[in-house]
Amino acid sequence: MLMRRFLFLLLFALQAIAQAQTAATTVRSPGIPDFSGTLSFLSSDWMEGREATARGGFMAADYIASQMKLFGLMPYGDTLRQQPSAENAWKTTQTTYFQNFELIRSQVEKASLALVRLSSGGEDAQEFAPGIDFEWEPSTIAAQAEAELVFAGYGIEATAKGYNDYAGLDVRGRIVVVMDKFPGHADTSSKAYKKLGRTLNEEAISTQQKRLTAQRQGAVALVVVSPEALFKPYKNTQQNLGIVNKAMDAAKAGDPDYADAEYTIPGDTSLARIPCFVLGNEACTRLLQESGIRLTEVENGIAGNLSPRSKILKGKKGRFSISIKSESLAVRNVMGIIPGKDTSRTIIIGAHYDHLGMRNGLIYNGADDNASGTSGMLALARVWGELSEKPGCNLIFAAWTAEEKGLLGSSYFVQHTRIKPTNLSMYLNMDMISRSAPEDPSRRVLSIGTLPVSEQFRQIAERKNKALNHPFILDYWDVTGHSGSDYGSFIPAKIPVMTFFSGFHDDYHTPRDIAAKSDPEKMKDILKIVNDCLLEVIKTKP
């Protein structure tokens, strides 16, 4: 009798354990009601476009925090020390859902650029007209100088790949002139393209990276020229169609102009500080006159033999000045946590909640970008918050601010996180997951970005996709060197990432990106894959 009772209790215990394990590994996938209302509210006119630093951004942050609290998440933001009690003793500290910090907004108030010709008779300065002959990249520090000009090809330093425009070139204290793009970009059959074109990523050839490289080499400023600019027709010397067309293209795309300001995190040393000017066709012609440099010939020569064509522009100097107006602005990330059984492991599920705000009386609602990712993150927080027991590891649900201003919210978190990078199993990102690209009429393409070292993430996604009733056409891509969304903040810290994206559309960054155009069925299936991948990663310890 005693033995029978013991076996019964043992059987009961084993059954309870089995049920607990099942509960821990079966989390319902979010349904449309879990995210549709949140998506609509975040992208409504009430939120005023959710621009970071603006009222709408703070209202959105308050709403997101209220949802996290409703779903049972513990706050994971700042720790506050409360005011003294009536007994004149400090109360216990309190943690909030907000990670508050400041951004520095720097705006160029005035910029000048001149070409100084040197001759036996003295100096002759030719002033370039701002907005006609040149534009400038946003800057954070006022500067002025007169210095020698040196041509440094494409301004690329890729020694490990066998190419370096700065080899044997001293640019310290000088103004560096570089071409845009990269060697062989115009000829896919060229030697340069075959060697570099497939390996140089967007970051390596960006103006920002060329600016950083020139700064590291000791230059005082960067000037960007383009062979294409030289051959664009213009009606007279006062009209620069290279610059005008750029502005018209931006207007047609409906993207508001943010080129007048730079937003930075105080103390961030990773940004380029030297001024950067982009020349139009007339200014480019004047700069290169009598220099012996013909950009198309230089471009073709480098493409053919990968030999840099750098040289000092003798008899010429450049003179510039930039004045800056700066102000400090408050912003906040919103974060909640579900503590796990294994507190040494953490997975972050994140999406940026900011968008473009209001411009010229129009509200940029940002339904797909990125009320969709934020509402998806909150839907996952809801279903995981429903569990009666802890998940296998810590789950942090994060809504980032200031992604549209340069991934600044997620960058601030990575720079100030109290979690060791080795304890972060994955950062899972969702950005624009409710629409489809025009070239995807079936509305079943889903892009998933990972690092090459995270091949297991792709394999997991492949299996979970096949289990869908209507599988997606998966578009895998390598995020190395890319920074199109907040995953880019985690890559330098060597944190594994997995990012989900459903395609660009014609309403991107326009007031037409509204909730009524979202595809809830597609988003529901995307969230199922995201949730299933999350479950699998939790079970698979590194």
CATH number for the domain spanning 457: value is 3.40.630.10
Mean pLDDT (whole number) for 486-508: 95
Q: Are residues 433 and 313 in the same domain?
A: no
pLDDT tens digits, 269-324: 667 689 999 998 889 989 998 888 989 899 999 989 888 889 999 999 999 999 99
**CATH at 196:** 3.50.30.30
Among 426, 480, 177, residue whose Cα is nearest residue 311 = 177
Report the run of H or E that residue 134 belongs to, with start and end: strand 134-136
Q: Are residues 46 and 158 in the same domain?
A: no
Amino acid occupying residue 285: T
332 belongs to a structural domain: no
- Sign (positive or negative) of CA dihedral 147, 153, 154, 156: negative
Domain boundary among 299, 325, 351: 325
Number of C-alpha atoms within 13 angstroms, CB side, residue 542? 17
Buried b (16+ CB within 10 A) or exposed e, 348-357: bbbbbbbbbb
* 92 Rama sector, left if φ>0, alpha if ψ -120 to 50, beta otherwise: beta
Work out whether strand 94-95 and strand 497-501 pair parallel, antiparallel, or are unpaired: unpaired
Q: Are residues 318 and 347 in the same domain?
A: no
Instruction: Could you list the beta-strand ranges (E) of 281-434.
Output: 311-338, 342-352, 357-359, 362-364, 393-400, 424-430
37 belongs to a structural domain: yes
C-alpha distances out from residue 308 to 174, 179, 284, 305, 329, Å: 18, 12, 20, 9, 43
H helical segments located in 389-453: 408-416
For all residues of the chain together, what is the average pLDDT?
86
Give the pLDDT of residue 3: 52
Specify the range with the lowest mean pLDDT, choosing from 42-51, 111-120, 200-209.
Answer: 200-209
Among 362, 380, 478, residue whose Cα is nearest residue 433 = 380
338 belongs to a structural domain: no
Mean pLDDT (whole number) for 15-27: 51
SS3 content of the chain, % helix, strand, coil (to 5): 35, 30, 35
Q: Alpha-carbon distance 223 to 179, whole Å? A: 9
Give the pLDDT of residue 162: 85
Q: How confident is the model at residue 237 (pLDDT cuts 50, 70, 90)?
A: very low
Q: Alpha-carbon distance 124 to 316, whole Å? A: 10
331 belongs to a structural domain: no
User: Is 247 within 8 Å of 192 (Cβ atoms)?
Assistant: no
Q: Are residues 42 and 118 in the same domain?
A: no
Give the pLDDT of residue 195: 82
Domain boundary among 291, 325, 359: 325
Q: How many CB atoms lie within 10 A of CB 82?
A: 10
Total residue count of the chain as it appears in this document: 542
Mean pLDDT (whole number) for 514-540: 96
Share of the chain above pLDDT 90, in %: 64
Residue 246 has pLDDT above 70, yes or no: no
Tokens of 211: 């600016």
Residue 8 has pLDDT above 60, yes or no: no
Q: Alpha-carbon distance 231 to 533, whole Å? A: 51
82 belongs to a structural domain: no
Q: Are residues 133 and 249 in the same domain?
A: yes
Q: DSSP state, 417? A: -
Residue 221 has pLDDT above 90, yes or no: yes
Q: Are residues 407 and 308 in the same domain?
A: no
Mean pLDDT (whole number) for 403-420: 94
Q: Are residues 438 and 517 in the same domain?
A: yes
pLDDT tens digits, 94-109: 899 999 999 999 988 8
Give the pLDDT of residue 493: 93
Mean pLDDT (whole number) for 115-130: 86
Number of structural domains the chain divides into: 2
**Predicted model pTM:** 0.80
Q: Are residues 213 and 318 in the same domain?
A: yes
Domain boundary among 267, 290, 325: 325
Q: Are residues 262 and 382 in the same domain?
A: no
288 belongs to a structural domain: yes
C-alpha distances out from residue 312 to 33, 152, 158, 189, Å: 64, 8, 21, 30
- Per the structure, the complete domain to which residue 171 belongs is given by 107-325
Q: Are residues 452 and 349 in the same domain?
A: yes
Place of tokens 């005693």: 2
94 belongs to a structural domain: no
Q: Are residues 286 and 415 in the same domain?
A: no
Q: How confident is the model at residue 71 (pLDDT cuts 50, 70, 90)?
A: very high
Q: Alpha-carbon distance 430 to 527, whole Å? A: 9
Q: Are residues 57 and 190 in the same domain?
A: no
494 belongs to a structural domain: yes
